[in-house]
Amino acid sequence: MASRLLRTMRRAGLLAAALTVGCARSDTVVGHRLGWFRGFQLPEVTSGVSIGQRFVAPAGTIDDIALQTVQVGTPKGALHIELRSIVQGDRAPAFRIADVRASDVVRDRTYHVSFPPLEIRDHMCCDVEITSSPDDPASGVALWAVREPSDSDDTLTFDGKPRWGHLAFDAHLTTRPSPLRTAVWVSLALLFAGWGVLASIVRALGNTDAFDSEASGARSQ
């Protein structure tokens, strides 16, 4: 009895694990990372300078963008960072806006811009833009870029115009599982559960046959 209960509990645990894997969200990183001999430094972010990156993201929730920064003097003022969508080539109003101190941005080589989670549609074109704060002009901060081919939906921008290469950045998203992945794992879980039910029925029939045999033997005696 105890061994049967243990087997049932083990099957239930495996079934729950399969459903969790099939329906769980996962972390996805979209961006372009620095590599050996591929990075180059962009101009200092000062008044009148706009540096950005267009990128395409999968469906999910974005809540953090990491920028690769470098100090090019005494950091002063603040940077103005905006995240928006690109719809048919036109820039929509900003979804998220952040103003950060220049001294904080260059404290480490990587600066994380965190903001409230934002839902992104599948294959949505987004644009992150870094400028000097109009109220507190920035200086002493530059950004790294990556030497890689680009296209209209995935490219570095300078003063709002596409340029060759990419901003060195990572965008962190929490993505939903694809319908196919969910269907496969749910099907496997149902198959496993059905196999367990079938095995239980076979064992029950076997026990019934054994009981009938014993009963017939007792009556013949």
**Per-residue model confidence (pLDDT) at position 94:** 78
In eight-state DSSP terms, residue 37 is T
pLDDT in tens, 141-155: 999 999 998 888 899
Q: What is the pLDDT of residue 176?
A: 66
β-strands 78-87, 155-158: how paired?
unpaired
> Mean pLDDT in runs of 10 for the chain (221 residues)?
51 47 63 84 96 91 93 96 80 83 96 88 89 96 94 89 93 72 54 57 56 50 55
pLDDT at 144: 96
pLDDT of residue 19: 43
Predicted pLDDT at 175 = 73
* pLDDT (0 to 100) of residue 78: 97
Question: What is the secondary structure of 102-146 as a DSSP string?
Answer: HHHHTSSSEEEEEEEEEEE-TTEEEEEEEEE-SSS--EEEEEEEE
Query: Residue 43: what pLDDT?
Result: 95
What stretches of the chain adopt beta strand conformation (E)? 26-32, 39-41, 50-57, 60-76, 78-87, 90-91, 96-101, 110-120, 124-132, 139-146, 155-158, 161-163, 166-167, 169-175
Query: What is the reported pLDDT for 204?
Result: 58
In this prediction, residue 168 carries a pLDDT of 96
Q: pLDDT digit string (tens) for 185-198?
A: 456 556 655 555 55
> Which pTM was predicted?
0.68
